[in-house]
A = this chain, B = another copy of it.
Amino acid sequence: MMRKSIKGRAAPEDLPAALHRLETLCRERGQRLTRQRRAVVRQLLAADRALSAYELLERLRPEDGRATAASIYRTLDFLMELGVVHRLESKRSFILCRHPQAPHRVQFLICRSCGEVIEAEDARLAAATERLGDRLGFALDQRIVELTGLCGRCRTREAGPS
């Protein structure tokens, strides 16, 4: 069965797919796949939005009452290293990666009204950032692009009800 895909945006993986991807990545790199790592992925997928580390912590409590901030941050660092989780710097929060493929240059669009986050992968924008880095003599190792505004739905809603 085909998942719905709005405007060509990457559809969310389901849980088995996400966990399987995680397992593969861990195995490839000889890293351990622990309960907490699985649980964090599960919660981020279930939330279907960006969560702060402490929001995540609350959601983990029912199934793991002993989780702490420190361990959540460690787990998130680990998952970011694997490329399975991204951090939204401007919102101090974390979101599941929507592009299962290998390393990628993404840009985030964040709706300030409904909080929706789209993970885009725009080649032209990516190329432009690389050119800028080159032009100024930088060897880039991180590209943060976070665009904030109103998403289509929220735009019509705000204009709509007179």
Contacts and interface: CB of A to CB of B under 8 A. Distances in A.
Interface in A1-47: 7, 9
Interface residues of A, number: 37
Interface string A99-114: 0000000010101100
Contacts of A7: 136-137
Interface string A136-147: 111111111111
A128 B127 CA distance: 10
A124 B133 CA distance: 13
A72 interface: no
Given A140-B148, A145-B145, A124 B118 contact: no
B136 A125 contact: no
Given A109-B136, A128-B122, A136-B109, A144 B141 contact: no
Contact of A120 (B9, B109, B136): B136
A53 interface: no
A147 B144 contact: yes
B120 A124 contact: no
29 contacts: A9-B136, A107-B129, A107-B132, A109-B136, A109-B138, A112-B141, A120-B136, A122-B128, A122-B131, A124-B128, A124-B131, A125-B125, A125-B128, A125-B131, A125-B132, A129-B145, A132-B147, A133-B147, A136-B152, A137-B152, A137-B155, A138-B149, A139-B150, A140-B148, A140-B149, A141-B148, A142-B148, A143-B147, A145-B145
